[in-house]
Structure formats: structure tokens, C-alpha cells
Structure 1
């Protein structure tokens, strides 16, 4: 019989409902019986002690809120009787000892990747086309129309075909009722590598954005840093860059940022400036010619075996629910610990979703300087948010709250589980690049796409993305593996979810078993053997962070 309730940490004074619990029901937890005065929805929490206004509430062993009214033992914890609270933090003693996971099942494993001149290894092989400023976005769209379809990178045409079927029905004189009930034919097959002119190139990606001019000079520098992260990324073979010429984000700044990340940069890079070239037609013709030549060079790359230490995994969550912190997040946390033990790198970002667990992460920093840097970034970010009336406490979305994440600290304590238990090797400000193996903390918003975009810019060649509610988020150049926290979601949205960890909630699998299963899957994806849902659907989300307040 499936367990119905759970206590996550021995210091907690709340229990978690693993199924819908009815009013008047008796539940057993850690040798105690609780009679529930009201129903508690699955994924939500109930008090294990009587609480009075102002009493602290603990989950995952940390402060996550305070009661605002009396809550009886067994009472449902919700937004009406609890508000956000989090513990303060300081630079304390280093606690960098940790229990390494057993890696014997992966000690001799490799993946087949694309080896780059700087020693990095890609899990894919893309050509990117990048605008220095939003004024060039239309020209990117023209290039996309000119190149993508004929080179064999067109997306599935199922939906165009369905529209044509409806057009034929309309021409045949069918009524609205007939249209609404029409049984549309669907062919969801995709063109394989055989249809590509360049079989070793996974695609041409167009990184459309709304930056480059206006804003601050810091915004321009950050944009150039982010774009440099993509150009130097191991999943990228080369790039075409379109510049207008007069924008804040100058090509010279981009070149500086490329040199910072790759001092001996040698990939093909074609830069075209419209105000120098003159006619738009001349710009586009030259961009097509140079991009085609670049694709010929990129096609000369082939996959070859590489050690797992060449993997850099981004850790992300979005559309989280009350199960995320006890299934999907700790599962990829175990995957993270496995990879760190094997010499690889992992990135934990989303700083608004680390509120309340700062002390633990600060203590795990390998040096006091890193702990100080982490604390400074967290405080500065929260202060900027408060200055415009939107502190970290306003981070949970309506979907989060509906599914049990009623305070930012509850959400954060569960989200931090993605980072496992290893020491923090480095702390990075946006949009810097990972240079050290181990667990890296990267300052980004909690916004799914902004954070994922930044993690890839920092070097992530695979992203593990957990979700409890479902999200189609992907990235133009890095496979984003979607992992569900509950089996109901996996069954309902199988077309966009790759892995189910609801097996942990159901007692069918341990966190360790799920973590090892996820690493097996990562190796298959990194080798090009498995295509994740976000890639199949062409989910190429790319949003830069302008360092304003985004939670």
C-alpha cells in the first residue's frame, strides 16, 4: 500500500500529504496518530504540533514560515494561516566534508561527443546566427526562411497539414459544426539525418532577442557576455553575427568577452555590419554565403568518446509542485553528486529560489571568499527586488501555491535539493562561465527561461529540468531533459516529459536509483542516441536577463 504521509526531516513540525486526505481522517506518521480537522490536498502540508501566531514552521529542517493564526495539530498549512519567513545567514565555519556516492556503475562510462580545440566536448553540433541588436531580428528571420527548410532542418509540418485539411472542408461547404468535429489526420514523424544536407550538423539556431541598444551599458556588456558564452559553447561549431553598427552592444565588446572565455578561440566566426555593407540585400546575400561555408566546416566534426568529466549539467526547475522537493529535485541532486564525484561540473542557479537555505550553501563553499561572494549576491538581489516592492517572498507563482508551495522558503528548500550535497566549488555572477569542476552557484532569476538561457551561456551542455505542473521549456543549443515529480503529470503530458520520478512518491524506486537512472539517460542524450522532447518540438527558448528585477 502506498504511503500516504511523509515527514521530510526529523526537525520538521509539518507533514506532507502524499495523497488527498479527508477531514476527520486519522493518519499515522513516525509513531503518532493525527486526526485531521479539515481536508489536506495532496502535496500540501499539515501541522504535527499545535501552533500559535508567530510560531516558526520548519520543513526540510529549515525555517520556511510563521503561523499567522492558531493552527491545531493536524491542521492544513495554507496561505491564510502562514506567511513567508526565512532564517538569516552569515559567513561561518566551512562544512565541506561530504559522503560521496558510489560511482562504480559509472567509473568507466563515456559519452560520444564533439571534441573542441579548447578541450571542451559538446553533446550536440550547432551553428548559431546571432544579432548584436534587436534591429537585426528581421534579417535573422529572412535567413531562417532561406536556409532552414532546404537544408533539412524544417520542423514537423503536421499542423500545416491539418490546417490544409480544414481549408478543404471549408471549400467543400462544410458547416462550423462539421469543422469542430472533424477528425484531422496527423503524422508526427520527423525527418531523420538522411534528409539533412549536412548530417553532422544538428541544426542552425537563430538567437533572436530584444537587447543590444537602449538600457544601460551594463546591459550591453552582459548581453555580449551571454552571446560570447553561446559562441564559445562546446555545443556550437561556429557563428554568424549580424551587427547594425551603432548599437551599445558593439562587436568589439563581444570580441573581448569571447577572448575572456576562450583565449585561443579558433571556431569559424563571421561578423557582418549592416551600416558598413550598405544594402540589406547585400548583407543577407553575404550572410547566406558565409553561413553555408560555415556549415560545410561544421559538418567535418564527428562524435568521439569522452569521459563523463566533460559533462556540465545545468540544474533547473519550473512549474514546481509540492512533490518536486521530495522526488525530482533530490533525484537530480543525487545525479549531481555522482557527476561531481566523476570530475564533472553542475550549475545550481535561480537565486530567488535559494532564499532560506543560504546558510547551508554558504557553509558548503570551499573558501570564505566564495561564501562572502554568495552572500553579497543574494543580499544585493533581494534588496533590488524589495526596492521595487517585490522581494523574494513574492516568488511563488499561483501554480506553485495551488500545489503546496505556499511560501518562497518552502519552494526554495525543495529547489535547493537539485544541488545535492557536494561542496560549492565556485560562485559566479551572471553571465560568467564555469571554469571549475564541481558544484557551481550561478546568480540568475528564478524565471525558467532566463535561468536556463544563463546556465547554457555558462557552459551547460545538458540541462536537467524538473517540473510538477508541466512546462515545454527548451534551449536552442543544449538538450533540456524534462523530469516530472509525479506520475500523473508524466502520463498526462508524455509528449513534453522525458523522465518520471513519481516512482519515488509511489515507493517503487529510491532517490539513489532514480538518480542513477537519470545519469544513464543523460549519457544517452549526450551521445546523440536519445532525442529529448524539447528538441523534437523545436522548443528554442532564449531570453536574456537585463539585471533588472526578475524573480
Structure 2
């Protein structure tokens, strides 16, 4: 199949492969001769459009023609501008067709059971600062602990540097060094961990905690509390300077909102303790004692209903809304039907599908909260000269996502078709099973950071262009929208859904395959590539404008 019409009411058609001008393409009962080249992932007009005519894709308004467009002409930023439909508090549309879950009904995963009833897919100790002034002290602790405990990162690039140094010392010229056959081995001898049941010690440095608004400090403490109380975390060490906005009392308040820590939490304040040496020495000793206790916890069977999956996309392309996103949308529906939880975030990338999601909210109150968050967020963006319409990146546009509404309509497919059981404002914690909407930016790392802070113990991350994003405490599983990307970046992409584009697999088959993979990762039997490569991205969101 060369092309695809995503929704029956669409008036644009997606090219599944590069098509040349003059090619006649048959689709349904139409034969359309292309008047321009149309690259794979891009769209062309099914009819002639006049200025102001609506462009429909995924069954929703995604743009308007800003100049006449001929049938068979490439749809681009040059002839189309962003447009999306308005939204209101509509009627509840919470009926949905649940998928067949018989294959998974009695399945379990092996996880770490916590005192509050949650179950982790990993077992980490975290060290975090209440203010950026303590980042260097975290670095010192990291240098002291990681190697000695057996958590050293892959050192193949260290060996590469050693070879370069040897060549330089031997008198080789720059040209000779650059042309030298230096071997970078992909196999690194595994270090023996002192604490085999602890997956690692993670250091969550950031640039917040003081100098911003009190609201920024409160939000930061809420996010950090989400990580401290997270089921993937066995305990935490907290460093504070003492005089910053983000005080420990504020953090404790946020921890209490989330039901308390129910795990070891050690706090050290530099201005109270005095010397840096005393601060770091005491923190290292207490952390070591905590790790001894954390190592006593072992994986035990748990129902799939204990999974909380964050849904994310980054480096999206024109196939994202056709392959990977609807595939994990089906995975989402499977998990919801099994009593589990999924989190759909990235509010700037829900522009244009607000009405559908609002109608799917189980109560009018939740619909109103969602509508308010969307309007307020967009208004704040517009007040600084931006807006949701500026969300698509140059890479998105190059690969067919030419308006925010096109990008959003495809991005929303990650949430499947189930009712919306809760709407959360950052950095609230998930408390209800089912589909949750979480207000975050579209920025990949800020959004992933927030989803995990709200309770996601695994993240499914779709990409059409490739991205190395990970998280310090939750496995981030990458899914490619197309096979060429999977073959080009096998070191960072876990799952290929380009099989859907190629007609080798249905969305439903891919969704089930993805859930099988999730179970393996959640059980510790398979390592997500983001974990293997120590991709530990952590960026708290300042509640200013970030698209």
C-alpha cells in the first residue's frame, strides 16, 4: 500500500512512501495524479482547496488553507496554517469497547512491593538536593559511591580516550590520530554489585530550589516528593543548604500529601552541620546503611493492575499517529481493562482534540478542570508571544507534522479509547486507575520527568526521528514509528512498530506485543536500552511557558 487515509472524514491522504509528481495513485474509488512530489510521512490534498478551507485529518480540524491548493498537491507549511476547533463542556461519552484481555487476565510481573501497596518495577536509592547549590556535593557523593558499589557506567569511551592518549604520546600527528583504527568495544565486563537487589544509586541534580518564585519551590518539592514516594525507590538521601526557598518542611508537606514516605529518608543540612566534609561523610555513611536495608527487598509476583505506564512521544514524525502511538494506545486500553493505570501528558500536544478528551472525562467536574488547564496554558503561552501553534519542532515539520493540531491528533492516540478517570495538574500524584490526563509541557524530558513523579513505574516513549531520553528511576521503553529508524538506531530503540506501516502487523497485534515486552521489563528479565546506557534525564518543570 502506497498511501493511507487515516479517518473516513479526512480530506488529506498520507504517503507511506516517497511519491513523484505525475504518479497516479488509486485509493478507494479515486485515482489522483500528484501535481508535486510528496515524501513519505507527508500528506497531499484529496480535493481542491480554496483559501480558508478546512483541512481535516484524524477526523478533526488540523489547519486551514492559506492559499489555493490543487488536488494531489503536497500539504505543507507554505500552503496550510494551524487551526483547531473550539471546545466546551459537552456530553459525557464514556462508553467504550474494551479489548479482549483473556491472553493477559491471569498474568503477573515480578516487582518490588512497598508498604503503601504500590509495586515497583525497579529498586533504586535516590540522592537529591533541595537547591542547586548542593549539586556539586551530589557529584562528590556520586564519585565516591558509584564505582565502589559496582554501578559504574559503561567505560568503552574511556578506553577509546586511552588509545588516543597513547597515540598522542607516541608522537602521532593529528591526521594520523584521526585516521587511526581505534576499536570501541560494545561489550563491557559487568561489574559485580555489592547490593544485587538494588538497581543503582541515582543522583537527581537540578537548577531550582531558590531564586525563583515560591510557587516554583512548591512545585519542585511536589515533584521531589513524587520521586521519594515512588514505588521504584527504596529510600532517599536529601541534601539542603539551609537558606533556600525549597525548605525541608515544604518537602515534608508534599510527602504527606502523597501518603507519607513509608521508607527511609535521610536529611542533611550543610549550614547546620558546618563543613562540607562532615556533610558528605555523614550522608555517605547513612546512604550506605540504607542500601544495606534496601538490598533485603526482592522481587515478588504482582498483578498487572499494579503497572502505571507513562505515555510519551518525542522526535515525532508523520507516521507517529499511524503506527507507534495507536499501538501503545491499544496497550493502554489493554492495561486499563486489566485494572491498571496510564498517564497521558504533554498538554500542548492535545491541541485540537480537547473536545474528544473532555467528553471522555467521567464527570463534568473533570472535564471542566481539563478545559481550564488547556485554556490557561495556551493563554500564558500567547501572552509571551507564543502559543500551542508553535509547538512543532523543525524536525517534526520536516517529517510531516506541519501544524500543532496534526501533531496533537496523532499524539492523543497514545491514550487509547478508554474513559478519562482523572485530570491532574503538575505535579499531582496518580490516585485512580484508568486513563489519567497530566498537565505537562510537550518537552520530552520535562514531561517524562513529570509522569514518573506522578507515579509511572514504566514509560512507553514513541519516536519517529530517534531520541536517547531516559529517566533516573523508571525504565523508558523506546518505540520506533518506522523500520528504517529501528535499523539505524538499534542501540536506543527497543521496539519497532514500522511493521504496521509495512502491513506486516495490525495495531492490535503490535499493542499486545508491546504489553508482553512491558511485562518482561517490569519483571527485570529484560533491560530497557535507556537503562542499559544510563540515560538518566531529569528536568523539573518551572511553571512558566514551555512547549
Query: What TM-score, normalized to structure 1?
Result: 0.99
SS in 2 for 1:427: strand
Question: 2:205 maps to what in 1?
Answer: 208
CA offsets 1:464-488 (integer angstroms, 9 cap, x no match) = 0000000000000000000000000
Q: CA deviation at 1:511?
A: 0.1
- Superposition pairs of residues 229-378 of structure 1, within 5 angstroms: 229-263=226-260, 265-378=261-374
Deviations 1:142-179 (A, max 9, x none): 00000001100000110010111011111122222221
SS at match of 2:149: coil
Is the CA contact (8 Å cut-off) linking 2:462 and 2:478 kept in structure 1? yes
After superposition, what is the alpha-carbon deviation per residue over 1:203-231, rounded to whole angstroms, capped at 9, x for unaligned? 00000000000111100000000000000
Distance (whole Å) between structure 1 residues aligned to residue 462 and residue 98 of structure 2: 23
CA distance in 2, matches of 1:444, 1:180: 44
C-alpha deviations, 1:288-343, integer Å up to 9, x for none? 10000010011011000000000000000000000000000000000000000000
Q: 1:158, 1:397 → 2: CA distance? A: 33
What is the rounded CA distance, in whole Å, between the counterparts of 2:424 and 2:206 in structure 1? 23
Taking the aligned partners of 1:242 and 1:166, their CA distance within structure 2 comes to: 38
Specify which of 216, 228, 249 is matched with residue 219 of structure 1. Answer: 216
Question: Aligned equivalents of 1:266 and 1:71: distance in 2?
Answer: 62
Measured against aligned partners, the alpha-carbon deviations of 1:63-107 in whole angstroms (never above 9, x if no partner) come to 000001110111110000000000000001000000000001101
Give the length in aligned residue pairs.
547
Secondary structure at 1:324 match in 2 = coil
1:196 equivalent to 2:198? Answer no
The aligned residue for residue 142 of structure 2 is: 144
Structure 1 residue 181: Cα displacement:
1.6
User: Corresponding residue for 2:55?
Assistant: 57
Q: Give the direction of change, closer, same or farther, for the CA distance of 1:318–1:145 in structure 2 (3 Å limit).
A: same
* Cα separation, partners in 2 of 1:190 and 1:308, compared to 1, 3 Å: farther
Output the aligned Cα RMSD.
0.7
Structure 1 ranges of 4+ moved more than 3 A: none
CA separation in 2, counterparts of 1:180 and 1:285? 43
Residue matched to 2:463: 467
Shift of 1:266: 2.1
* Per-residue Cα deviation, 1:409-432 (whole angstroms, up to 9, x for no partner): 000000000000000000000000
User: 1:19: which partner in 2?
Assistant: 17
Offset of 1:191 from its aligned partner? 4.8
Report the equivalent of 2:437. Answer: 441
Measured against aligned partners, the alpha-carbon deviations of 1:476-534 in whole angstroms (never above 9, x if no partner) come to 00000000000000000010100000000000000000000000000000000111111
Q: CA deviation at 1:190?
A: 4.1
Query: SS of the counterpart of 1:325?
Result: coil
Of 66, 72, 91, the match for 1:74 = 72
Retained in 1: the 8 A contact 2:110–2:299? yes
Instruction: Report the Cα distance in structure 2 between the residues aligned to 1:146 and 1:381, rounded to whole angstroms.
Output: 43
Residue of structure 1 in register with 2:158 after alignment:
160
Is the partner of 2:237 in helix, strand or coil? Answer: strand
Q: Which moved more, 1:54-63 or 1:161-170?
A: 161-170
Partner residue of 2:543? 547
Q: Does 1:513 align with 2:509?
A: yes
| Bigger Cα displacement from structure 2, 489-498 vs 172-181 | 172-181
2:92 pairs with 1:94: yes
Per the alignment, in what secondary structure is the counterpart of residue 148 of structure 1?
Answer: helix
Distance 2:105 2:507 in 1: 20
SS of aligned partner of 1:137: helix
Match of 2:45 in 1: 47
